[in-house]
Amino acid sequence: MAQEVRGVIAPGKNEPVRVETIVIPDPGPGEAVVQVQACGVCHTDLHYKQGGINDEFPFLLGHEAAGIVEAVGEGVSDVAPGDFVVLNWRAVCGSCRACRRGRPWYCFATHNAGQKMTLAATGQELSPALGIGAFAEKTLVAAGQCTKVDPAASPAVAGLLGCGVMAGIGAAINTGNVGRGDSVAVIGCGGVGDAAIVGSRLAGASLIIAVDIDDAKLNTAKRLGASHAVNSTHTDPVAAIRELTGGFGADVVIEAVGRPETYEQAFYARDLAGTVVLVGVPTPEMKLELPLLDVFGRGGALKSSWYGDCLPSRDFPMLIDLYLQGRLDLKSFVTETIALDEVEQGFERMHRGDVLRSVVLF
Ligand code: APR
Ligand code: ZN
Ligand code: ZN
């Protein structure tokens, strides 16, 4: 039986979000209904709220979530009712060229739910942002978007892995391949950069240099494990990183801002044959000019990192286990928990940069 729940919708361009009654259909083949327990507020939600999904409104928001599977449709065998799961917006298909070649994080088959949730008042169809729509008491997803993790973890913490925190940790451990004894520089210490710091520490980096233009952000970065902090408003970050690494540059530089000047800093702050990991998302008009002789002469690798190049079925349970063993600080990323009708205030706080994550608890 289809059921009615409360969910947050973005009603129109730059309009505040609001809570509405939405209708969740029964799960069809390959789908699952999940009772959402926690969902974090992410920058991507804000972008969608401002610009729509291809300029179309209304739609459902929320995608960094964890909850309990309530019901599954035909043919679903990997998850069952009662399972504690983290939702992901990139369910891999297993059969496309990227998947077959062992790069499932570049799987571009979209495995979201086929059926639509609707607005109870009008019957209007609601697209869920990133195929999840988890600022709602329940949501309908593809079963492949659900990854079982240890239920001993709190939902607020588990849900973090659904997006930004996984992107940062994965940039360090998957894309950057940070290893024991490495020196790492992280440029931009918001939620994603801080997660890269935590990931680098987990991987055994011996030196972690945090770079930001905001001292408050740098203090948080140090609390999370950065060994050095550089405020690039008044210090040249490339020179500072070189100096802190004995004149060489860092083995791995992780860029988590998404601007040409910080891409350039990342390029020059790495050691010869070092790796630059680009996580910050640039806008379409941004360009970067580099002398080809430097590109050639410095060697190493320039890599971009998508969703932390993660494999949810491998990475989510592993990171939750490390968290439960006390080896990975995820809890610090939950700055505050809020109620469903406070999502708009959560956006405002995120926009001001006051929080790492505001997480809606149900
Ligand atoms: N140099 C250094 N740090 C900077 C600069 C700069 N020129 N400009 C901004 N910053 C810092 C901000 O002070 C802030 O701490 O970068 C950080 C960005 O953090 P957030 O805005 O919280 O963004 P976050 O969620 O961490 O995402 C960062 O990664 O996944 C991408 O789309 C995401 O492009 C975004 C980036
Ligand atoms: Zn695929
Ligand atoms: Zn997100």
Architecture of the domain whose range is 3-162+329-361: Alpha-Beta Complex (3.90)
Yes or no: say if 157 and 46 are a contact pair by the CB < 8 Å rule.
no
Residue pLDDT, tens place only, 158-191: 999 999 999 999 999 999 999 999 999 999 999 9
Cα 233 to middle of ligand 1, angstroms: 14
pLDDT tens per residue, range 227-265: 999 999 999 999 999 999 999 999 999 999 999 999 999
What pLDDT sits at residue 52?
64
Q: Which residues pair with 60 in a beta bridge?
A: 9, 128
Is it the case that residue 272 has pLDDT exceeding 80? yes
Tell me the pLDDT tens digit for each residue of 94-142: 899 998 998 888 888 878 898 999 999 999 999 998 899 999 999 999 9
pTM score of the predicted model: 0.95
CB 137 within 8 A of CB 74: no
Q: What is the mean pLDDT of the chain?
A: 94
Residue whose CA is at the smallest distance from ligand 1 atom 7: 262
Residue with the bigger pLDDT between 209 and 47: it is 209
In this structure, the residue with its CA closest to atom 2 of ligand 1 is 212
Is the pLDDT at 212 greater than 80, yes or no? Answer: yes
Residues 287-294 have a mean pLDDT of 94
C-alpha distances (whole Å) from 342 to each of 16, 38, 48, 65 are: 11, 13, 17, 16
Please give the distance, rounded to the nearest whole angstrom, from the Cα atom of residue 31 to the centre of ligand 1: 35
Measured distance CA(325)–CA(279) in Å, rounded: 28
Ligand approaching nearest to the C-alpha of 106: 2
Identify which ligand lies nearest to the alpha carbon of 262. Answer: 1
Give the span between the Cα atoms of 316 and 93, in whole angstroms.
Answer: 17
- Nearest ligand, measured from the Cα of 167: 1
For a mutational test of ligand 1's pocket, the pick from 213, 305, 351, 354, i.e. the residue with the most ligand atoms closer than 8 A to its C-beta, is 213
**What is the number of the ligand closest to the CA of 100?**
2
Dmax (CA) for the chain in angstroms is 66
The mean-pLDDT minimum among 52-66, 134-148, 182-196 falls in 52-66
Cβ(188) – ligand 1 distance below 6 Å = yes
166 touches ligand 1 (CB under 6 Å): no
Q: Whose CA is nearest to atom 31 of ligand 1?
A: 280
- Residue 279 Cβ inside 6 Å of ligand 1? The answer reads yes
Which ligand 1 atom is the nearest neighbour of the CA of 43?
Answer: 25
Q: Determine the pLDDT at residue 51.
A: 78
Which helix or strand (DSSP H or E) is residue 58 part of? none
Sequence ranges of the domains in the chain:
3-162+329-361, 168-306
Tell me, in angstroms, the distance from the centre of ligand 1 to residue 244's CA.
22
Task: Tell me the fold of 168-306.
Answer: Rossmann fold (3.40.50)
How many CA atoms lie less than 13 Å away from 194 in the CB half-sphere?
24
The band of 53, judged by pLDDT with boundaries at 50, 70 and 90, is low
Using CA atoms of 191, 322, 183, 313 in order, give the dihedral in degrees to the nearest 10: -70
- Average the pLDDT over 13-23 and give the result: 93
- pLDDT tens digit sequence for 77-105: 999 999 999 999 888 888 999 989 988 88
> Is residue 275 within a helix (H) or strand (E), and if so which, with residue range?
strand 270-278
Q: In this predicted model, what pLDDT tens digit does every residue of 316-347 receive, in sequence order?
A: 999 999 999 999 999 999 999 999 999 999 99
